Structure 1
Amino acid sequence: MTKVEQTDIFSMFDIEDEAVIKLEAAKAAAVKKREEQIEKLRKSNEEKKEAKASTPAAPKKDPFKVLVDTIVRYAGMDLPVTNYFSIEELENGLPTKKKKKDDDGEESAFEPISENALRKKLEDDFPELVANFTQLVYIEKKNIIVPVLSAKKKGMVDCKETSASAEVSSCSKKKKIPFHILADFIVVAKDFSSKFGTEVHADIYLDRDKGTFILDFPKQVVNAVLCSIDDDNAWLYVEKYGDRNLMKIMEIHSHHVMPAIPSPVDDANERSPILYAIVGRLDKFFPDLIVRTFNKETQKHFNINPSNVFENPVFDDYATYLSDISNVEVE
């Protein structure tokens, strides 16, 4: 049987159809582009795998527990847990809900002392260790518990003018944060703002043994309106600083080129009686700055004069090169 091949008028006369040529060229280009996309995706996946493999392993987390001889290390003190719980409670646990023993009576169910149960006790002595913003990290090899104030999300999301009081705090003037700490943060914040168009967050700690301040940038994800702090930062903090005698003094974050006005997100996540600062309008030569704290009794924020918190950036004495000011007359 003779095989019949399908043909058309152009092939009969050996005439090339321009439309067909263009169609075939488009198909070839599409195939090539698809192959390039597949290769690009393959390389991207390989790079992600390599990056993941080279990323340091997450810090080992010891399961939380409280033993009779456990020590709470905070604010330069070693506090035995027996200050907060009896030996019986530490050995047997805390009574919870009642469960029926038989038809004639009931007996108590006991559970091990939880992280939040200990935190509540500590909050009586250290008001800043509030719920939802405090993590207790247990270090098994030392049998100590280190309370860590954990920052939450900060950002300029749905920002509106707030009615925070302009009251000036009675913040202690005995120890102020050196101005270079604030300047260092502004340098980093300006860099993130100009290069990436994002905010950034940092924590300021006081080393109570050395009397010096530390500016620390925790692990975080940032964008133009939000800083999201990593959930593992309490463990990362302990891995980085161990049980050093550090106290968190301030949480500070930038608002990119937007005003230094606290947003609802800021209000919801700045609920501890420590210092909070916002640096805004980083496009200006001198950015905006607001400092405030949170009053647990009134459940309100109030503003603090930055000069009560940071050292003055202007020298009190006249600069040395202004040796002759006799021509200045004060009326």
Structure 2
Amino acid sequence: MTKAIEQTDIFSMFDIEDEHAIKMEAAKAAAIKQHEQRIAELKEAKDKNDTTPAAAPKKEPFKVLVDTIVRYAGMDLPVTDYFTVEEIENGLPVKKKKSDENSGDEIEFKPITENDLRKKLEQDFAELVANFTQLVYIEKKNIIAPILSAKKKGMVDCLETSANAGVSVSSKKKIPFSILADFIVVAKGFSNSFGTEVHADIYFDLDKQEFFMDFPKQVVSPLLCSVDENIAWINAEKFGDRRYIKIMEIHSHHVMPTKPSSTDDLNERAPILYAIVGRLDKFFPDIIVRTFNKNAEKHVYINPNKIFECPPIFESYATYLHDISEVEVQ
């Protein structure tokens, strides 16, 4: 008796191995093993209470030279687009009262500060807001890299948040569902193993024209995830010359609801996307997406379907064999 062979694709038709699929499966298996090993290492470190801090990255003092370049959003912007050569060389004029009250004010010149440049950049890039933006000076390249840094996220002091509102979102480029799935898998791992939250950043690579996700250096607990205070310098080293922009900050509330806390509200105030994934104990976790409207000074909620690709999961698995002829619509 001849055994029937089920043909599923052109490779099985000719008994050819799909090398790409094999490589992908091998890479996935290796990644799963690495993930499991990292969870085991974290458990061991937690049990030993081993919290030896890593060496801090090198911080070069901030400076602005005439030929300094600001590298952001895939562009190299001469600093002379924002300040004159005279201002760069001599400093910005600042009024200073003389000790003699009748003598009026005198002018002194101070070097351009990080915040002076940030305020100029914010006029072109609305997301580079105060308290959430750090400008990293890389001396060997004479470039300044603006880094939008995440702050603490968590469920501490949960309060009522702003009301839902509509927002116009471009549907030309959505974040792949695979990235969201990857985050949920990692978040579930930390929730199940440690009962903690976890944070990730989602970026868009301007050269490859694709999204990528990064789990930055952070400390997580059941109520908070705190990104390292040196993250701007860490990212400057990690990503090097890669041309990218930050699209979203996403964090989990493990088995708790997605309702943003007061900590979330205070630290999610740039006009980028923010997502919270909660109730990871449910069959389908909950997710909310929002942004911050600088003009209205409030958070605006967005339908996740407008942000993430939504694969036809149910349609793919449904059999469509059930009779619905007895159903009427009023």
TM-score calculated relative to the size of structure 1: 0.78
What residue number does 1:294 align with?
292
What residue number does 2:182 align with?
184
What residue number does 2:132 align with?
133
Calculate percent identity across the aligned residue pairs: 68
Q: How does 1:36-51 map to 2 (within 5 A)?
A: none
Q: Confirm or deny: 8 A CA contact 1:99 1:109 kept in the other structure.
A: no
2 CA distance for matches of 1:326 and 1:265?
Answer: 48
Q: How does 1:212-291 map to 2 (within 5 A)?
A: 212-291=210-289
> Mind listing any 5+ residue stretches in structure 2 that lack a counterpart?
1-44
Q: Cα offset for 1:226? A: 0.7
How many pairs are equivalent?
280
What residue number does 2:153 align with?
154
2 CA distance for matches of 1:258 and 1:327?
Answer: 39
Residue 157 to residue 72, structure 1, CA distance change in 2 (3 Å):
same
Residue 320 to residue 202, structure 1, CA distance change in 2 (3 Å):
closer
Q: How does 1:4-15 map to 2 (within 5 A)?
A: none
Residue 105 to residue 262, structure 1, CA distance change in 2 (3 Å):
closer
2 CA distance for matches of 1:326 and 1:220?
Answer: 49
What residue number does 1:120 align with?
119
What residue number does 1:23 align with?
none
Residue 106 to residue 258, structure 1, CA distance change in 2 (3 Å):
closer
Deviations 1:280-329 (A, max 9, x none): 0011111110000000000000100000000013269x54995x869776
2 CA distance for matches of 1:235 and 1:301?
Answer: 29
CA RMSD of aligned residues (A): 2.6
Deviations 1:47-96 (A, max 9, x none): 999x85xx763221111100011110111111111111111101100112
Larger Rg: 1
Letter matched to residue 127 of structure 1: A
Q: Confirm or deny: 8 A CA contact 1:73 1:243 kept in the other structure.
A: no
1 CA distance for matches of 2:65 and 2:278?
Answer: 46
1 CA distance for matches of 2:311 and 2:193?
Answer: 26
Deviations 1:148-203 (A, max 9, x none): 000000001121332x2322321110100000100000001001011001001110
2 CA distance for matches of 1:48 and 1:166?
Answer: 42
1 CA distance for matches of 2:137 and 2:112?
Answer: 13
1 CA distance for matches of 2:242 and 2:234?
Answer: 14
Residue 245 to residue 182, structure 1, CA distance change in 2 (3 Å):
same
Residue 315 to residue 190, structure 1, CA distance change in 2 (3 Å):
closer
What residue number does 1:170 align with?
168
2 CA distance for matches of 1:321 and 1:248?
Answer: 37
Letter matched to residue 201 of structure 1: H
1 CA distance for matches of 2:260 and 2:304?
Answer: 15
TM-score calculated relative to the size of structure 2: 0.79
